[in-house]
Amino acid sequence: MNSKLFTLSILLLQELLQVMKYSIEFQPDNITVTAEEGENLLSVAAAAGVYIHAYCGGDGVCGKCKVQVDQGEVFSDRTTLKKEDWDKGLRLACQATVKSDLKVTVPEKISDGRKALKRKPKTTRTISARSLETLIGTWNIDPPVTKLFLELDPPSLEDNVSDMQRVMRGFKQARPGEREPSYDHPELIHELPGVLRESDWRVTLLLLHGRGEDEPLRIIDVESGDTTARLYGLAVDIGTTTCSGVLIDLNTGKIIADASGYNAQIRFGEDVISRIIYAGRSGGLRSLQDRVVSTINTIIEDICRSIIISPADISYIMAAGNTVMSHLLLGLDPKYIRESPYVPSVSQFPLTKAAGLGIHAHPSVRLFLYPCISSYVGGDIVSGVHACQMAKSEKISLFIDIGTNGEIVVGNKDWMVCAACSAGPAFEGGGIKYGMRASNGAIENFHIHPESYDPMIVTIGRIKPSGICGSGLISIVSELLESKVIDQQGKFNRNLDCSRIREGVDGWEYVLAWQKDSQIDRDLAITETDIDNLIRAKGAVYSGCMTLLGCEDYCPKDLPHQTQIAYLRRKMAIGK
């Protein structure tokens, strides 16, 4: 189980992105980066810090992001370009995707003065959620469920053992020497006689592997015919604000679908403390559980619809959340988490039947919920630490899980310390005037022209912008600061000559997209209040990091014992 995991928000991780395919050289900046086949050229430029005029988020309508492809090939079509531009080798960066090594020149007329934008090449890579595939590439695939196809002899008067004994005999023939699996799932034995006969005694066993050597293999389902090619696992991140799911083909380890949505508990409070208080009201705990379950069910529906499978085809569910989210999913009262001495009910959650919680899954399907460390260091951080394998490394890593609750781990294979800090929802677009979830239309990357202060906007889905997601917010504030549009305190420079910087109804703001370039019915802007919220969230995480990095000298011998800092043992029991 070292390897079937996921993580959602990883900022600083070293040495993970070694699988980029093509070299992309941008001129005249003379910046070279690597990109995978099919990556969008505007996104590659944005990630590389190469400024290209782009107002429409990548929608292909503003026509500003023309670049000259000098060498190599891109996928593109010329519907948005004049034939003479096309023949010159000009392409709209937002409509072009990488097909080979490339040399790309950003036309002079829009790159005037752009030298000021050049930064020294980054030594630390930023990995977004979409780099999950890359992370998974570093794992061995060893899923908790496997399948085994059996062709059994039909019963006869000379051989009339029970149906289940026949299955067991088939198992033992297929896996000689292995211990006989158990079966404890009532539906299985109910359906077995019918499945065996309708499939003409050709069936596939779904096997659940025990955690550790103690627990034997269990047959949890018997399917008609050979279904070994279909083996899907769902990983769900249960965030206080946002829940995300990815479906993984457990035969190959590839992600085949994903979906996400706001945690429907939000209507009962934005942070874990308000949720705990709400859980104490009559029927509150049940409502909160119902909401998170319905959020997960929506994710399952979205995923299944997108690749045309049934929820019953999902064979395993793995979830991670902070300690309060984990309690609420299982319907456990989190009240003692809030009261001194801050004790959770359970930190290692039993393997649960997902359907028993109301999740739309086959009755046999188990839900593994990542163990928590303490009341404020949850399974989300454990899963992240597990996924990035920092617990296997000699080198010391800093791991930050940015969410409504920020959690930070520093350590290596020998020791780890963790801090949790209340960051608020700014990193997820919460409390931001035009904040939104990281879905289509959200500004996720941003650069600014150092003289005209014009924006380069890249949205998720490359359509006209409709809001700002968490990574977009960080990107925007970082650019505004570097270009001195705002100062260190997050206040706008009132003296700049730029119509985008103005005093709006909510105070000073920078217009990211005029109404005509956006999907909303007014100008899309970032305000000083938004920036202030981000600064405070960032400040919380920063102080968490500094507290921990201050601890490093003392580790592992002399750890400070603070309530919010838990010493994660290297051998914390995560799965097998």
Least distance between its own copies and beta carbon 184 (Å): 4
- 351 near its own copies, rule: CB under 8 A: yes
Does 558 bind its own copies (CB under 8 A)? Our answer is no
Q: Which of residues 196-225 bind its own copies (CB under 8 A)?
A: 214-216
| Among positions 65, 330, 361, 477, the unique one binding its own copies when judged by CB under 8 A | 330
Q: Among 95, 97, 315, 375, which residue interacts with its own copies (rule: CB under 8 A)?
A: 375
Q: How far apart are CA 201 and CA 194, in angstroms?
A: 10
CA separation, residue 294 to residues 356, 417, 536 (Å):
13, 34, 32
Taking CB under 8 A as the rule, does residue 364 contact its own copies? no
**Does residue 356 interact with its own copies by CB under 8 A?**
yes
CA distance 244 to 242: 7
**CA–CA dist 234, 207 (Å, integer):** 16
Which one of residues 16, 90, 164, 273 is an interface residue with its own copies (CB under 8 A)?
164
- Residue 133, classed as helix, strand or coil, is helix
| Binding region for its own copies (CB under 8 A) out of 244-252, 345-353, 381-389, 426-434 | 345-353
What six digits make up the tokens of 243? 């829940």
341 belongs to the binding site for its own copies (CB under 8 A): yes
Q: For the CB of residue 332, give the shortest distance to its own copies in the complex, in Å.
A: 6
- 160 makes contact with its own copies (CB under 8 A): yes
Shortest distance, CB of residue 175 to its own copies, whole angstroms? 16
> Which of 28, 38, 113, 186 touches its own copies by CB under 8 A?
186
**Pattern 86-115, binding to its own copies, x per CB under 8 A?**
------------------------------
Concatenated DSSP letters of 382-451: HHHHHHHTGGG-SS-EEEEE-SSEEEEEEE-SS-EEEEEEE--GGGGTTTSTTB--SSTTEEEEEEE-TT
CA distance linking residue 267 with residue 125, whole number of Å: 36
What's the distance, CA 214 to chain centroid?
Answer: 32
C-alpha to C-alpha distance for 155 and 82, rounded to whole angstroms = 74
In this structure, are strands 501-504 and 467-468 parallel, antiparallel, or unpaired?
A: unpaired
Residue bearing tokens 């309708």: 198
Pick the closer one to its own copies by CB: 196 or 303.
Answer: 196
- Quote the least distance from Cβ 379 to its own copies, whole Å: 12
Query: Which residue, 86 or 278, is less far from its own copies as judged by CB?
Result: 278
**Calpha distance 449→428 (Å, rounded):** 26
Nearer to its own copies, 171 or 349 (CB): 349
Phi, psi of 142 (to 5 degrees): -145, 75
Structure tokens belonging to residue 88: 């010159």
Residue 57 DSSP code: T
Straight-line distance from the first to the last Cα atom of the chain, in angstroms, rounded to the nearest whole number: 6
Is 347 near its own copies (CB under 8 A)?
yes
How many residues bind its own copies, per CB under 8 A?
49
**Binding region for its own copies (CB under 8 A) out of 304-312, 336-344, 400-408, 461-469:** 336-344
What's the min distance (Å) between Cβ of 319 and its own copies? 15
Q: Is 342 near its own copies (CB under 8 A)?
A: yes
The answer to whether 567 contacts its own copies (rule: CB under 8 A) is no
Q: Kind of pairing, strands 442-448 and 467-468?
A: parallel
183 lines the binding site for its own copies (CB under 8 A):
yes
CA distances 127 to 17, 47, 471, 528, Å, are: 8, 10, 11, 27
Residue from 28, 563, 569, 570 that binds its own copies (CB under 8 A)? 563
Rounded Cα distance, 491 and 345, in Å:
45
Asked if 352 touches its own copies (CB under 8 A), the answer is yes
- β strands within 267-348, DSSP E: 314-321
Report the residue count for the chain: 576
Is 184 near its own copies (CB under 8 A)? yes
Piece of 69-77, 190-198, 433-441, 508-516 that binds its own copies (CB under 8 A): 190-198
CB of 208 to its own copies, least distance (A): 13
Q: Decide: is 190 part of the binding site for its own copies (CB under 8 A).
A: yes
182 touching its own copies, by CB under 8 A: yes
Segment 129 to 158, residues that bind its own copies, using CB under 8 A = 155-158
Tell which one of 77, 119, 165, 306 touches its own copies (CB under 8 A): 165
Q: Which is nearer to its own copies, 95 or 375 (CB)?
A: 375
Cα 205 from Cα 244, distance rounded (Å): 29
Residue with smaller CB distance to its own copies, 4 or 327: 327
Minimum Å gap between C-beta 371 and its own copies is: 10
In Å, what is the CA distance from 417 to each residue of 321, 333, 510, 545, 560? 19, 27, 39, 10, 10
Is 520 near its own copies (CB under 8 A)?
no
Residues lying near its own copies in the complex (CB under 8 A): 155-165, 179, 182-186, 189-190, 192-193, 214-216, 330-333, 335-336, 340-352, 356, 372, 374-375, 561, 563
